Structure 1
Amino acid sequence: MGVVVSLDDKKNNTGSVQPLIDLTKADMGRVNELILSKAGSDVEMIPEVANHLISSGGKRLRPMITLAAARMFGYRGDGHVKLATSVEFMHTATLLHDDVVDESDLRRGKSTARMIWGNQASVLVGDFLLGQAFKMMVDVGSLEALDVLATSASVIAEGEVMQLAAAKNLETTEDEYLAVIKAKTAALFSAAAEVGPIIASASRTDRQALRSYGLNLGLAFQLVDDALDYGGNAKDLGKNTGDDFREGKITLPVVLTYRRGTSEERLFWRDALENGANDDKGLEKAKGLMTRYGALGDTIQRARHFGGIARDALAPLDKSPQKDALLEVIDFCISRVN
């Protein structure tokens, strides 16, 4: 049984990340050099594990947002490069930790670090990257930027624990799930966007605008990922489709379908996610139920809602190439399901 995400009000403007890539190309070159430098270590396994994930083909959206947000407000130093690298290291560390917690075998079509080097190495190299990230934050010399990124690191960890506590819990509510992804995913997007205006000495209003933009973009991004896991393809998702189902993850499409279903259908979800009856046949049934109850389309509608808030957050800011590029990113993130 196939599944089609219902997008009746699909827009012609699908957005693109290319303007952001073009605007930040020179600075990202410096970020990439710094990544290679700071991921180095005399302990041979550390650069091996770090480079395995760093070179795996992600778009590095978060550090590009940091670079663009700083340039938007006229920043001319080099602190944004160190902060962008810190953001990428924080993201990489969370992926290493995530794959251990989720017992994931593949990421972006490649074996996860834990499958090659083991869980212990993955966790410890993630810790190494976090340490390097904080050293670079200190080098920048902005206590406010350090505070924002350090706070986001704590919030992300809280989100991981919240997700662990909610694992396989089908009584999870939509509000509870949104709280998890706000901490686990959106917090780093928010921090990545906010530190740009901070080091550019922008006004508190401008700083709040970028914080709101990043937070709501992160929520939209994660909700689209949730829908793609059941209604997309591996290329768009960066991992195998159906992984959330196989790992017993509670995501918004599951929450909505479970609550809208019959008692018999709820028994299916319990058997699949709580008892591990999550083979390919089970996945196809899950997709069919999501189609029946409109859960994927509603998940995308919620993503569009948060995307709209992100767009509104930037509306009062002066027009600039960076602002236009960041607005395009919103459409790009949501258009992945089109």
Structure 2
Amino acid sequence: RHHRLAAAVEFLHTATLLHDDVVDGSDMRRGKAAANIVFGNPATVLVGDFLFTRAFELMVEDGSLKVLKIFSKASSIIAEGEVDQLTAQRRIETSEEHYLQIIGSKTAALFAAATRIPAIVAEKSEAEELALDAFGRNLGIAFQLVDDAIDYDSEASESGKDKGDDFREGKMTLPVILAYARGSAEERKFWEEAIAGFRTEDEDLAHAVELINRHGCVDATRERARHYAQRAIDAIAGFPAGEARTAMAEAVEFAVARRY
């Protein structure tokens, strides 16, 4: 049962990635040509739709209304988060609070569902369900924060995606939000032009990276990721020590230490 539900989570996750790459016009995914580049947008969207519906078939086959409710809610929140991110694109006034709200929806919601479902399968208490939900939610936020830092401090050969994708798409991620807030009037003018789509050349990206490094914005983003990572580890402190809890803590540590 838990294998089928894990497959449902992975189908749902992959569907969102396929759709993301179409929406973002991405060229690379995990170091290889993105599906939309290889097969085109129509096929990529349709395969994403297939995986999405197949995930729900697996959930229905499981027979638990509670499991289906959690997955359905997570799917709705993810879609809402993606739309929210799209509407925030090229909006320099996007706040850190709004940014955290977006990643809490588009990324952390799926992590939370994936870590809460096992407690239901194992027929554990609601308190244990909520503890695992908190673990996944905080891990998801930490994971996305690191992803957003990687866009400005890792090369494509290391990260598996084109460097500066977020910059060229005008995404207001935390490194940019912090650089804009900490910058001089001249620097803020650069960010306003860049996020609006008027400064997207390689030299503009190089300047953006220089400004982000000047104000320690990647380090600050990774520090926030470590904060949420610690919250994830704290959430499972009430579970018995053992191989499973150790593995979960190691997954958190990997998520915030990675550079790809």
In the alignment, which residue of structure 1 is the partner of 2:74? 152
C-alpha deviations, 1:29-88, integer Å up to 9, x for none?
xxxxxxxxxxxxxxxxxxxxxxxxxxxxxxxxxxxxxxxxxxxxxxxxxx1111100000
Paired with 2:93 and 2:229, the residues of 1 have a C-alpha distance of 27
Asked if 1 retains the 8 angstrom alpha-carbon contact of 2:31 and 2:159, the reply is: no
Paired with 1:175 and 1:92, the residues of 2 have a C-alpha distance of 27
Paired with 1:146 and 1:171, the residues of 2 have a C-alpha distance of 37
Residue 240 of structure 1, aligned match among 142, 162, 169: 162
C-alpha deviations, 1:112-171, integer Å up to 9, x for none?
222222222221211111110000011111111111111100000000000011001110
Paired with 2:229 and 2:159, the residues of 1 have a C-alpha distance of 18
Count of aligned pairs: 260
User: Considering only aligned residues, what root-mean-square deviation do their CA atoms show, in Å?
Assistant: 1.4
1:319 aligns to 2:241 (yes or no) = yes
Query: Which blocks of at least 5 consecutive residues in structure 2 are unaligned?
Result: none
In the alignment, which residue of structure 2 is the partner of 1:92? 14
TM-score, normalising length: structure 2: 0.96
Q: How does 1:274-285 map to 2 (within 5 A)?
A: 274-285=196-207
| Residue 247 of structure 1, CA deviation | 2.1
Query: Which blocks of at least 5 consecutive residues in structure 1 are unaligned?
Result: 1-78
Paired with 2:157 and 2:133, the residues of 1 have a C-alpha distance of 29
1:307 aligns to 2:254 (yes or no) = no
TM-score, normalising length: structure 1: 0.74
| Residue 227 of structure 1, CA deviation | 0.8
Paired with 1:195 and 1:152, the residues of 2 have a C-alpha distance of 12
In the alignment, which residue of structure 2 is the partner of 1:188? 110
Asked if 2 retains the 8 angstrom alpha-carbon contact of 1:248 and 1:276, the reply is: no
Paired with 2:74 and 2:136, the residues of 1 have a C-alpha distance of 12
Percent of residue pairs identical: 50
Asked if 2 retains the 8 angstrom alpha-carbon contact of 1:225 and 1:237, the reply is: no
| Residue 322 of structure 1, CA deviation | 0.9
Paired with 2:199 and 2:38, the residues of 1 have a C-alpha distance of 27
Residue 105 of structure 1, aligned match among 27, 32, 45: 27
Paired with 2:158 and 2:126, the residues of 1 have a C-alpha distance of 36
Asked if 2 retains the 8 angstrom alpha-carbon contact of 1:193 and 1:213, the reply is: yes
Paired with 2:31 and 2:246, the residues of 1 have a C-alpha distance of 32
Higher relative contact order (Cα pairs below 8 Å, separated by 6+ residues): 1
C-alpha deviations, 1:259-303, integer Å up to 9, x for none?
111221122112222124222211111111111111111111110
Choose between structure 1 and 2: higher helix proportion: 2
